[in-house]
Amino acid sequence: MSESHDQKLETQIAFLEHTVEQLNAVVVEQGKQMAKLHAQVRKLTDSVEAQELERIRATNPKPPHY
């Protein structure tokens, strides 16, 4: 291979390595965002379930002998 061809390949490899690093950073950030969103969804789900349980309890009071 000629020197210019080698140089061209090295430049392309460097560009691809840089692109991979950038994409990896995006994937890591998205993973963090997904974990945060998952926690928020879990919290909201728990809250809705608790509200529903309270609503059921309020509409179905225990008999006086309890």
pLDDT in tens, 22-41: 999 999 999 999 999 999 99
The answer on pLDDT for 65 being more than 80 is: no
Nearest by Cα to 51 from 62, 63, 43: 43
* Overall size of the chain counted in residues: 66
**In the prediction, which pLDDT does 24 show?**
99
Residue 45, in any domain of the structure: yes
List of residues 6+ apart from 1 with CB closer than 8 A: 9
Domain count, the chain: 1
- For CA atoms 57, 58, 62, 66, the dihedral sign is positive
Domain range for 37: 31-56
pTM of full prediction above 0.75 = no
